[in-house]
Chain A
């Protein structure tokens, strides 16, 4: 996991470090950190939420949250790694809130009919896989993105999602099967 993010590590040594400046309350320095990291955070938010508008919201939440937590960053890991972890927590926390909110208005009837209306992805380029991942059930998509794309271990995913490790493995297996079927159409 750590290695995956080394390439986007923000160097934070020296007095001109944007991290130190941001920690001191410099919004311009924080904007530089935002510009350096936003695309990676947005990619994570987009894949976990499968919703471009929601990904915009989550990305904003991540950076606002990062601003409030900057004081707790001590440089033990790369800033991008710290930010990535924070983003995962924000997105997964958002999913739990979404479920609570959705539960307030219960819709009856069989909405699974909508699944039949989803066009199968085309085969041949990476958008096929992005589309197919986006159409996975939420829990399976979360585990697939975290394990297969972001490189988290099952142990890390279990801790971050609050699920049993065995459940994470089962969900990953399901995601793989669904993607294989979807991409083979």
Chain B
């Protein structure tokens, strides 16, 4: 006879039709006696049905073709950069969403400039090649417009966080502040390194990642619920 723990572990396999006949028989015997497992199995079946009923098509929020077309030049490809950190859960406020959009827009500008800034630049998929093809513009100069975007975004988010600090759990605020200090230190070091080596094309990307990390942390922090 299958015990309850074993049974709950195998409910998904039963649903997927992956159990050996003897295992299935044992599980069904358990199900006959266990309301909890029957309910759980029914829930999983309903969940599967709901998942398969989800729409297979979703429209993007904007027409992506112009961006794609810009990256396609006959069979030559100008590769845009893609260097965002791991994604966060969907934003829950307009400010946070706007902040992320700003960051993404800036990252595209950064990549474009650092990657060459010229639509005629041909780089068949290789990021390294794209970077090597960059023109006379220095990496520091290329990054400046994006940095302004980042700084404006950070300023707005920081102001929002400061306005909400008194509403938040002090321990949570302490964790956020500790992480902001770590990121700020990393930004300072990278910024100093870039000023010392303004032609280095890797440093703006590293710096950009740090700014993005900061924006994402702030975006998350301003959406934390008020302390009850």
Contacts and interface: CB of A to CB of B under 8 A. Distances in A.
B210 A50 contact: no
Interface string B66-90: 0111011011010110111111111
A3 interface: no
Interface stretch (B22-30, B112-120, B178-186): B178-186
B175 interface: yes
Contact of B87 (A51, A130, A133): A51
Contacts of A114: 220, 224
Contact of A107 (B12, B72, B183): B183
Interface string A55-82: 1110111011001100000000000000
B187 to A, nearest CB: 10
Interface stretch (B50-58, B151-159, B192-200): B50-58
Contacts of B90: 50-52, 131, 134
Interface residues of A, number: 71
Nearest to B205: A101
Contacts of B16: 154
A16 interface: no
Given A105-B186, A117-B223, A39 B57 contact: yes
B129 interface: no
Interface in B42-65: 43-44, 47-48, 50-62, 64-65
A53 B82 contact: no
Q: Which of B84, B100, B183, B213 has the most CB of A within 10 A?
A: B84
Interface string A105-131: 101111101100111000000100111
A75 B165 CA distance: 59
Give the interface SS of chain A, mostly helix, strand, loop or mixed: helix
How many interface residues does chain B have, given as a range? 35 or more
Contacts of B36: none
A113 B175 contact: yes
Given A43-B58, A172-B12, A60 B83 contact: no
B133 interface: no
A64 B53 contact: no
A11 interface: no
Nearest to A61: B82
Interface string B102-140: 001000000000000000000011000000000000000
B65 A130 contact: no
Contact of A68 (B13, B55, B60, B125): B125
A17 to B, nearest CB: 18
A25 B220 contact: no
Interface in B202-221: 206, 209-210, 213, 217, 220
B224 A117 contact: yes
A97 interface: yes
A107 B77 contact: no
11 contacts: A38-B60, A38-B64, A46-B58, A52-B61, A57-B82, A60-B64, A60-B67, A68-B77, A114-B220, A117-B224, A148-B52
